[in-house]
Structures are given as C-alpha cells and as structure tokens.
Structure 1
Amino acid sequence: MTFDQSLFADNALYYVAAFAVVLLMSGGVGFLMLRDRSAMRMRGIAAQRSGPEARSLARTASTAPRGLARALIPDDPSEIAQIQFQLAKVGFHHANAVQHFFMVRLLLAVLPPLLVFGGFALARAGLLPQDMAQVVLDFPRLGLMQIAAVTAAAGFYGPSYLLKSRIKARQQRIRNAFPNALDLLQISVEAGMGLDSAMSRVGSEIHKVSPEIAYELLTLQNEVSAGRDRETAMFDMAERMGVDEAKSFALVIVQSLEFGTSLTSALRTYAAEMREYRELAAQEKANRLPVQMSVVMSFLMLPALFLITLTPIIIRYTAIY
C-alpha cells in the first residue's frame, strides 16, 4: 500500500480538525479527572501558617476573574457562594473553582458542535469505517446542524441547571429544618450552655435530620475556634445558606452580642417569629392549592366537555352528508 501525497494534501484540513477535536476531548477529561489533592493540602497548610492575617480557615482568596471568565461569572455574591459550596461538596476545593466551572460549561457548549462537524470531516476524509462514514454522509445537513445546536445548548445550560436545582433543594431543606434547629439552640442556651457549646451540641444532634444545618453550625464553630471573627463567620454562614432566615439569625446574634442584650430573650423572640413564619408559609401554600388545582382540572375537563358537546353535531353532520 503506497502513500498518496496528493490525497493527504487534499484532506490536510480534515486531519487538523480531527486532531483539534482529540486535543479538546483529552484536555477536558484531564481537567475533570486529574486533580492534584496534595497540592490542595499544601496550599491549605500554607494558608494556615501565613500569619495572623490569614484567618480564612485554609481557604485561599479567589482571584478576580478576567477576560472571558468575567463575562461568564454572575455578579451576585450569594449565587457565587452557593455555587462554590456545591462545587466543594463534589470535590472541587480550589479558590478559582467557580471560574473553572463556568469555563468547563463553555467547553461543554463548544465541544459537541466540534465533535459533530469533526465526525463529518473525518467521514469526508475517509478516516472512519465504511459503514459509519456512509451513515454520517447520508445524514441530512440540517439534522447535523440541529444536533449540534441542541447538544451545545444542553452542554451550556445543563450543568448550571443541575447545580441550581441542587442549590434550591438545599435551601428548601434548610428552610424546613431551621425553626427546629433554632428551638434546640434556644433550649440549650436557656439550659445554661454558652453560645459556642450550644451551637456545637445542636450541630452534633441535628446531623441526622438536617445535615446541611449541622455542617454549617459545625463549620462556624471550627472557624471561630481557628481565630476568625465571629461576626464575619456568622454572616459567611448565612451567605452560604442563602436563605433569609439564616441572615436574620446572624443579625440577631451579632446585635445581641454587640449591644450586650440577653441572648436567651433574643433567641426566644426570634424562635417564636420563625414558628409563626413557618405557619404562615404553610397557610400560603395551602391557599395556593385550590388555584393550582383549578388550572389542572380545567385542562383535564375542557377536552371532555368539548368532546361531549361536539360529538353529536359531528355525527349528525356526517350522517347528512
């Protein structure tokens, strides 16, 4: 079998496109799979030993995004904090994990069209098996464009949708369990325990019912024990939770400690407000139910009503003509 230089020169562009697709695929797989955990631990140790000013609990500061990453990352700090927390839960603890997430999302949006058109180029160049190349070449061009567009949209919006759905589900679990955790915290403080020991106790007791709140309370205590300012740690915990109840709770605790008021009285008042708020939320949900049911019933009943009303007319019309 001899090497045909003219054939290679004619198909050089297709070879380059196929090589680019292979490089993009290998780079994406390498970014997702090869994470240097030893380097992450070394960065954490360096952050702990960098002096009194480093009170971020082994978390390096995130650098400001530049260029394309700046245009992709949202401006809402609460949303960024939630995304960073969810990425940390799946193993991405890097300071720039949010930027990497959005860059990977962009890569997933660009890669499917490259694969589609790269496969078409390989089929045109004769580098695919005969049967596969025939299927690709016989496929309509409009169909290829539609597949590329749909997969690009799925790659771009899919990771964000899945991550946001997990964030919303976590926030809902926190809202449901937060009044109970606050009641336990109030009982612990009224029993004579300090705020730190009460939070640690509640975090240890509630981990089976609400692991999200237990994680946040124990993380807060670890940060305070490591020397971080309590006010900053409280508001960071509320920011990670992403619910208004946690932000109000942090504000109540900080103001009570700052002005020297009774922490027991503040917790008792806020716990009563949380119970009332939970009852009002349940009533609001119950009041919305009839409206939602009426919409569903109308969609289910109207076709049957139209069918019952119009069927005799259609039968009579067909019998006459």
Structure 2
Amino acid sequence: MTPVLFASLVAGAILIALFGVGVVAILLLRARAESHIRQRLAPEAGGLEAFEDTPSTPLLASMARGGRVMEGIVDTEGESGRLLLQAGWRRADQRVLWYAFQAALPVLLAALVLVFWAFAQVPNKGIMLLLFSFAAIVLAFLLPRWILRGVAASRQRRIKSEVPLFLHLLVLLFEAGLSSRQALASLVREGRGVLPELGLELELLIRQLDAGADIAEALKNLSESVAVEDLSTVLAVLRQVDRYGGEVREPLLEALGVIEERRSLDLRERVNLLSGRMTVVMVMFFFPALLVFVAGPAFLALIRALGEVNVR
C-alpha cells in the first residue's frame, strides 16, 4: 500500500468517527432545544420533557432526550414504543436509562474505534479502521433495536408460559361466583407470586378499571400491548362474556384446550427440529467414529493381506 493511499484511508476513517460524534452532539443540542420549546408551549404535556420530572441528573436527562431523538430517526413507525411496553419498561426512570444508553452507545463505539487506531498493530490498519468506523455507525443505530426486541421477545415467552396457569385460576375463581373484575383483582392481590409477569399487566389493568375505564376496552388495550396470542385468546373470551353475558366456564375451558393443543403442536415441531439437528451431529461426528470402529479391523486385515501378497 502506498503512503498516499494509507494516509487517505486514515483521514477518511478519522473523518467518519468525527462525523459520528458530531451527529450525536447535534442530536443532543436539537433535543435540548425542542425540550425548551415544548416546555414553553405546553408545560403540562408529557414526552421528552417528562424526563426532567424523574429523579435523575441533568446530564442523564439530556442524554435521554438525545437518545429519544436518535430513536425517532431510526424508528418512524413507533415500533419502539410497543417494544418498551412489551418489555415491561413503563416507568419513567427505566425509559430514561434506556434512552441514555442509546445516546451513550455512539460515543462509546467511537471511543473504541479511536482506541483501536491508537494501540492496534495490524496490517492494513487504515482499511480496518475504515471498516470499524462504518460498523460502529451502523451498530450505534441498530444495536439498541436488536436489544429491545430481544428483551421484549423474552418477556413475551415468559408471559406465554404463565397463560395456562392464569386460565386455571380464572376458572376456579369464576366457579366460586366472582365476576370478571373481582376475579382479576383477586389474581392481582394473591397471584403475584405465581404470575410474576402477567401479574404486572393485570395490576395495570385493575388501575385502569378503578379509574373508570371500560373493561372491554381495557382488555383490548392489554391484548394489543402485550401481543401474546394465547393471552389474546383468553382476553377475547372475557370481552365477549362481558359484552354478551352467558356462561364463562365452558368458553374458558375450550380456550384452554385450544392453547394446550397449540403448545403440543409447538412442542412437536421443536422435537422434530431437534431430531434433524441431532441427525446432522451424528452424521458429522458419530458416524465417522463408528465407521472406523466397525470397518477399521477389516481394512487393516485387507492391507496386511495385500502386503503379504506383494512380499511373496
């Protein structure tokens, strides 16, 4: 590599890193300006300015606003809001920490790139620096979304595992003569130990009902926010019973049968996939060893016989 080309690559990598840091700084300043404007126009409104009401430092609040602006650039359809609800991060302090992480990640990645440039001793250092700078910019915008989707999916799986027990408890409470609201309130009071994730969602549901919300609308909002198919089936049954009346035990038992059948099919599918993977493992590792063990003696005897024939 010629010195001129190497110097050009190094200069390009440094410019890309400085550009990333500059973009973060501009976003932070823009977020601060928008926050002041919103406070002057509508001090009582929520949103970005709501971060200042949390018990956090001004620096953390500013970073949270910058992270919110970065999220708005990447997420134009509001997916992050749904993922935050599915992850269970509803409190203001949780969201402050998350948005601050989004704002701090580009600075951290830029620092890692500069450390690589200062201390790494590798061939073609300029090309590697250019590639790392590009990867840092991409990861700064995409990595938070990947992390948030993983956390939300993990919590959805935990809620899905709690739905059968939730159904059994509901059937018992309805058989005891409780109404839908009373049964849900009883689960919130006494079932937090056995329904840790679903109990949080039901507690929020009870608060909405105590504030005067319609139970059918509240159940629909819960179904849409959590986005777990099994739970949506149960909540749809509760909405129909609340709207049209009638026996609730039989529909819940039917829903439980559908959920258990669906879980059985999912388990069979996982077993089939696992069997296929184990077949690949056996062919790659077990079959060669078995072939050597079974056919090895015969192969060695054949070689010895051919060697004796050649000697004769």
Q: TM-score range by the shorter chain?
A: 0.5 to 0.7
**For residues 161 and 244 of structure 1, what CA distance do their matches in structure 2 show?**
22
Structure 1 counterpart of 2:146, one-letter code: Y
Q: Determine which of 176, 181, 197 is the counterpart of 2:182.
A: 197
The answer for unaligned runs of 5 or more in structure 2 is 1-14, 33-47, 56-68, 304-312
The alignment status of 1:39 with 2:53, answered yes or no, reads yes
Maintained 8 Å contact 1:106/1:156: no
Residue 126 of structure 1: aligned partner? none
Maintained 8 Å contact 2:86/2:225: yes
**For residues 239 and 186 of structure 2, what CA distance do their matches in structure 1 show?**
20
Residue 151 of structure 2: aligned partner? 166
| CA gap 1:115/1:87 in 2 versus in 1, 3 angstroms | farther
The alignment status of 1:222 with 2:207, answered yes or no, reads yes
**For residues 21 and 307 of structure 1, what CA distance do their matches in structure 2 show?**
62
The alignment status of 1:241 with 2:210, answered yes or no, reads no
Maintained 8 Å contact 2:188/2:203: yes
Maintained 8 Å contact 2:216/2:242: no
What percentage of residue pairs aligned between the two structures are identical? 22
Maintained 8 Å contact 1:116/1:148: yes
Range moving further from structure 2, 81-90 or 289-298: 81-90
- Where does 1:1-321 land on structure 2 (aligned, <5 Å)? 24=25, 27=28, 39=53, 72-73=74-75, 75=77, 80-86=81-87, 88-89=89-90, 91-92=92-93, 101=99, 105=102, 108-109=105-106, 112-113=109-110, 116=113, 135=119, 140-301=125-286
| CA gap 1:27/1:106 in 2 versus in 1, 3 angstroms | closer
Maintained 8 Å contact 1:186/1:271: no
Q: TM-score, normalised by structure 2?
A: 0.62
Structure 1 counterpart of 2:89, one-letter code: A
Q: TM-score, normalised by structure 1?
A: 0.60
Structure 1 counterpart of 2:188, one-letter code: G
Structure 2 counterpart of 1:298, one-letter code: V
Maintained 8 Å contact 2:27/2:70: no
| CA gap 1:298/1:75 in 2 versus in 1, 3 angstroms | farther
Structure 2 counterpart of 1:169, one-letter code: S
Q: Which SS does the other structure have where 1:88 is aligned?
A: coil
**For residues 165 and 23 of structure 1, what CA distance do their matches in structure 2 show?**
25
Q: How many positions carry a matched residue from both structures?
A: 251
| Cα RMSD, aligned residues only | 4.5
| CA gap 1:22/1:259 in 2 versus in 1, 3 angstroms | closer
The answer for unaligned runs of 5 or more in structure 1 is 1-13, 42-66, 121-132, 317-321
Structure in which a larger fraction of residues adopt helix: 2
Q: Which SS does the other structure have where 1:207 is aligned?
A: coil
**For residues 140 and 255 of structure 2, what CA distance do their matches in structure 1 show?**
44
Q: Which SS does the other structure have where 1:193 is aligned?
A: coil
Deviation per CA, 1:231-266, whole angstroms, max 9, x where unpaired? 221111112222111222222111122122222332
The Cα of 1:213 is off from its aligned counterpart by 0.6
Maintained 8 Å contact 1:224/1:233: yes
Maintained 8 Å contact 2:219/2:235: yes
